[in-house]
Amino acid sequence: MSANAPAFDQRYVRELPGTYEHVRPTPLANPHWVCWNAQLARELNVPFDADAEALRALSGNGLFAGSEPVAEKYAGHQFGVWNPDLGDGRGLLLGEWADANGKAWEFHLKGAGKTPFSRFGDGRAVLRSSIREMLASEALHALGIPTTRALALVGSDEPVRREQIETAAMLTRVTPSHIRFGHFEWFAYSNQPEQVAALVEHCLVHHFPNSRSAAEFFTEVVERTARLIAHWMAYGFCHGVMNTDNMSILGETFDFGPYAFLDATIPDFICNHTDAQGRYAFHQQPGIAFWNLQCLAQALSSQVSSDDLKAALNRYADTYNDHFLKLMGERLGLATVQENDQQLISDWMHLLASERRDFHHSFRALADRAPDDWAQLDDDAIDRPAFQRWRSALAERRQNETDQGIPLAQARNPISVLRTHLAQAVIDDVKKGSVASLEEYLLALQSPFERREDWQRWSETPPIDYQAAPLSCSS
């Protein structure tokens, strides 16, 4: 970054005193670049490249001009249990950067060392989970799913103890705001309604231009969250740790841990091996998000009347259903939602689940053929008559669509898919010193609808006997 480059701003720090602690990053020893997201850097018009000075700043060894790092205080419900002792325990807000359109993006350094909120943790992030976050946030973004982004990933040989010894890394996470449901919960619980009001005001001014009051703000959070979860469900994404401290107020996918996209269609799939009860199983996500919104409603009760809170919560189910039908319809090549589409979609999900068919390939196989050629897929079904009935119904429905819905279906069904076994193969390569497969997978996930001969590997399903390494909260 040149000496006269524009500096970072600190709106969060200026406007919300009392919600954070100033903390300096703990430098990572001997840092090296693992991944630089050139596409995002261009989008944000960041004033630096993957150069030595940026490496220092993004590994805790230096600071950008104007950056005043802080650890944010929040609390949350973890697996349904209230925990007041949370906060940024291993990540720091570095400051805000305005892109060419004047939109401000917070830069957050994950793995930046201990803070007053680290409790027993070491303040570090490991390379494996940082690579997983980089891949997931870019994959979701390319699918049109709201998410935080990942700009840069720096590695080191500093050892970190998890289930085994791993190496420390730092990930630069970028989003307009890192405010979580848990921020509001903490300031409500600790009897600081003026801080709840300040958080609401900050969100209204910077992040919710269409809302004019706390009640409208909460309504919009409900709707954004409902649409986010509909997106996850339509694309087979399982978050794994939907604690209220991991819920973004912006309705973005936030805090990647033991997440997984479905391979086989298993509605009660649990990706987090510490979630023995399946609280955060795939099919639980819509209900859990609503539960989390109820926690947020309680935290906002000093600012919004209970009638308005209830009215906002009542928006959840319809918003979720409408969005889910729209997204699933589009995946099936339907540009509009019509009366019987709900049945068509639920029959399809039932077929996929009862035969545990691959979630992504099953959609893409339909998209790759005109409805007249769907008979070629009959052999993929165990219950052929059921599939034949269903595909005939969809073919009939697609007759009303422009171009029979083929271009739409192809634009909504990814060819390259983020899969746990492929992410692990890339991680293994990086650990052996080669970043080539990480760079290629990232590119393929950033253009998931593009078919390229040399990207075939990135659409492969896991081997039948593949046993994923257990993913836990430290993943």
Residues found near ligand AMP in the complex (CB under 6 A): 86-90, 117-118, 121-124, 241, 246, 255, 257, 473
- Residue 412's binding partner among Mg ion, ligand AMP, none (Cβ under 5 to 8 angstroms by kind) is none
Nearer to ligand AMP, 255 or 308 (CB): 255
Alpha-carbon Rg of the chain, whole angstroms?
Answer: 23
Taking Cα atoms as reference points, which of 224, 199, 227 lies closest to residue 214?
199
Name the minimum Å distance from CB 448 to Mg ion.
26
Among all residues, whose Cβ is closest to Mg ion? 255
Which value, to the nearest 10 degrees, does the dihedral of the CA atoms of residues 151, 450, 327, 422 take?
-60
Active-site entry in 9, 88, 99, 245:
245
- One DSSP character per residue, 177-212 reads ---BHHHHHHHHHTT-HHHHHHHHHHHHHHT-TT--
The nearest distance, CB 134 to ligand AMP, in angstroms, is 16
Q: What is the DSSP letter of 16?
A: -
- Minimum distance of ligand AMP from residue 16's CB (angstroms): 18
Residue closer to ligand AMP (CB basis): 14 or 161: 161
Q: Which is nearer to ligand AMP, 124 or 326 (CB)?
A: 124
Residue 90 binding partner per list Mg ion, ligand AMP, none, with a CB distance cut-off of 5 to 8 Å that depends on partner kind: ligand AMP
Please identify, using beta-carbon distances, which residue of 223 and 255 lies nearer to Mg ion: 255
> What residues have CB less than 8 Å from 42, skipping those under 6 apart?
none
Q: Which of 167/321 has CB closer to ligand AMP?
A: 167
Is 454 one of the annotated active-site residues of the chain? no
| 92 vs 409 by CB, closer to ligand AMP | 92
| Residue number with CB closer to Mg ion (72 or 255) | 255
Residue 133 binding Mg ion, by CB under 5 A: no
The pair of three-digit structure tokens given for residue 453, joined into one six-digit string: 């001969």
How many residues touch Mg ion (CB under 5 A)? 2
Cβ 133 to Mg ion shortest distance, Å: 11
User: Among Mg ion, ligand AMP, none, what binds residue 89 when CB lies within 5 to 8 Å by partner kind?
Assistant: ligand AMP
Residue type, 426: V
Which tokens go with 6?
A: 């524009």
Sign of the dihedral defined by the CA atoms of residues 271, 266, 244, 134, in that order: positive
Of 337, 358, 468, 355, the closest CA to residue 401 belongs to 337
User: In the stretch 138-177, what mask flags binding to Mg ion with x, by CB under 5 A?
Assistant: ----------------------------------------
To ligand AMP, the closest distance from the beta carbon of 133 in angstroms equals 10
Tokens of 417: 């898919």
Which residues have C-beta within 8 Å of that of residue 68, sequence separation ≥ 6?
10, 13, 22, 95
Q: Which residue has the tokens 């309604």?
A: 193
What three-state secondary structure class fits 246? helix
Least distance between ligand AMP and beta carbon 78 (Å): 7
Contact assessment for residue 259 and residue 270, using Cβ atoms and an 8 Å cutoff: no
Q: Name residues contacting Mg ion, limited to 239-268 (CB under 5 A).
A: 246, 255
Contact 37, 152 (CB under 8 A): yes
Distance CA 404, CA 380 (A): 23
- Torsion, CA 439, CA 444, CA 446, CA 452, rounded to 10: 140
C-alpha–C-alpha distance, residues 41 and 58, integer Å: 14
d(CA 475, CA 466): 18
Q: Which does 124 bind (CB under 5 to 8 A by kind): ligand AMP, Mg ion, none?
A: ligand AMP
Residue 366, contacted partner among Mg ion, ligand AMP, none, CB below 5-8 A by kind: none
Given the complex with ligand AMP, which of 275 and 341 has the nearer CB atom?
Answer: 275
Considering CB distances under 5 to 8 angstroms, the limit depending on partner class, which of Mg ion, ligand AMP, none binds residue 87?
ligand AMP
CB distance 250 to 175 below 8 Å: yes
Task: Look at phi and psi of residue 171 and say left if phi exceeds 0, alpha if psi is from -120 to 50, else beta.
Answer: beta
Nearest approach in angstroms of CB 153 to ligand AMP is 17
Three-state DSSP class for residue 62: coil
Taking the complex as a whole, how short is the minimal distance between the CB of residue 388 and ligand AMP, in angstroms? 46
- Binds 180: which of ligand AMP, Mg ion, none (CB < 5-8 Å by kind): none
**Residue 294 interacts with which of Mg ion, ligand AMP, none, CB < 5 to 8 Å by class:** none
Please report the sign of the dihedral spanned by the C-alpha atoms of residue 377, residue 383, residue 388, residue 391.
negative
> Side chain identity at 364, as an amino acid letter?
R
- The contact set with Mg ion (CB under 5 A) reads 246, 255
* Active site (catalytic) residues: 245
